[in-house]
Chains A and B, each alone.
Chain A
Amino acid sequence: MKKALFLLVLLLPRVQSPSFAAQVPSITSTTKKAIRATLKVRGVFSPRGFFNIEVRLYHLQGLKRYRFDLKDSLAILDFKPGVSISSSSLRNVMVMAGYQPGPVKIEEIPVSQMNDRGRGWLAPPKIDSHWAFIRWLELNF
């Protein structure tokens, strides 16, 4: 009986409802749903503070678009459907940029919501050159 309860506790996070899935540290979206990650960043109070986070976001696989909220120190990232995202990889982006990561929220959103091009949404540039120097130029200019 104890073993059964233990197994149940272990399996619970895997069978939870979609609304609760937003709180788990890692998520893989379905082909019909995209992923939105909201990162709270500590210590960013100016546009320049987001620069170092921005250039690191480009290397996250499947990142479709992103925007920054200076008022609440948030980075909001939308990923393509079918991408696996973990909160540890997102936290690492902030750590590598020199900031202390705050809470990370990962949730599934309808793809139609991701296609809404509102003000403030940015798209990562294409960095696909064979040459490292050209990739550096693509990254910075």
Chain B
Amino acid sequence: MQFVCNRRHHKKDKKKRSSCLLLLTILLTGPLNSRLQAAPATFITALPVSQDQLLARFSFNPTLSSNPSAPSGGTQVNNYQFPETFLYGLTDKIALAVDARQGFSSMQEGLPQGSQSLSAAGAGDTLVFARYTLLDIDHPGNTFRVAPLLGTYLPTGYYNQSNASGRLPQALQNGSGSVDSLLGLTAAFYNRRYGWSWDATWRHNPPAPGGFDLGDEARTDGEFEFRIFPHSLPSSYLPRELVGVFETNCIWNNRSVIAGNLDSASGGFSWLFWSGFDYATLHWEWGAEVGVPLIQNLNGPGAINQVVSFRLFYEYYLAMPSWRKKKPHLNQPGL
């Protein structure tokens, strides 16, 4: 009975904490004046890039998760990811992307014989995808794009790291161990007042060597942004813009399979909400966002729920040499 009460208290505390963080993020950005445009931070599929342009983005993504109601006295997981994203405009329709990442995870686990610390570090899986702009409507006042994408996750991450007592928990692993396929669709709309972008992707994870099969993932992400500063655009110079951003991720993970057995403590559904700022100039942009879960319905009694996530990024734009032949009559610029 005592245990049940504690569990209820923990749930209430967690709800309170999540509500406070959500309120804080809304208060930080909500009442400020609106207008336009930067780029999503929590998903890279809809990042805008032009022909012969290379976008280099460096991110830092710490995530704090816990399971205070774990039977053995609570589990705390801190995960730090450092993704590097490169997006290149091969043509005006085709963009190529590479997303590599390094990560460090630590877990503090309460056991009957005392607390136990586990940690793991190394590279994560590398995402490579190609995006084709199917629909591209540019008006003087707005632009709308729809682009399907096809890609693969290369198994550069560790998925089977273990210690003396066996395989480390999945929360500390940083890869699937297999060549995974990714299929998706993105869309984006921007005008001078605001912009939004959206994607929906499906990641199929085939079995990896060693009898491990990470569950498939389906997700949809959305982003809404509005310019905070300057309030009215000057016509005599190009201003630096402070942009308010709201993002959301709905992620569903199928259960994993370990050594032929379905892992009951894996998979589930999460709905995350993010809010933050971007600061954009002609050549670079940085952004900071904080994210909290709105719904987490993860499988298993030992499910480790996300408490709060942060995302910081810096991106720089580079002009790349054009590989196309120049049209002599058009004085085409190029390197």
Contacts and interface: CB of A to CB of B under 8 A. Distances in A.
B317 A57 contact: no
Contact of A89 (B38, B143, B281, B330): B330
B36 A136 contact: no
Most buried by B among A54, A74, A102, A132: A54
Contacts of B36: 45-46
Instruction: For chain B, give the interface size range.
Output: 35 or more
A98 B330 contact: no
A89 to B, nearest CB: 4
Interface string B262-294: 000000000000000000111101000000000
Contact of A48 (B51, B138, B285, B332): B285
Nearest to B322: A96
Given A73-B140, A120-B238, A45 B190 contact: yes
A4 B139 CA distance: 43
Interface in A64-111: 67-74, 86, 88-89, 92-93, 95-100, 102
Contacts of B39: 48
Contacts of B285: 48
Contact of A96 (B51, B282, B321): B51
Nearest to B55: A48
B114 interface: no
Contacts of B138: 42-43, 99-100
Chain A contact residues: helix, strand, loop or mixed: mixed
Interface stretch (B172-180, B215-223, B229-237, B253-261): B229-237
Contact of A51 (B51, B240, B282, B332): B282
Contacts of B34: none
- The bracket for how many chain A residues form the interface is 35 or more
Contacts of A54: 282
B237 A119 contact: yes
Contacts of A47: 238-241, 280-282
Contacts of A52: 50-53, 317, 319
A86 B236 contact: no
Interface of A: 40, 42-43, 45-52, 54-61, 67-74, 86, 88-89, 92-93, 95-100, 102, 118-120, 132, 135-136, 139-140
Interface of B: 36-39, 48, 50-53, 89, 92, 138-140, 142-143, 190-192, 195, 233-241, 280-283, 285, 317-319, 321-322, 327, 329-335
The 10 A-B pairs of least Cβ separation, nearest first, read A120-B237, A59-B333, A43-B138, A89-B331, A55-B319, A52-B50, A98-B50, A71-B233, A43-B143, A46-B37
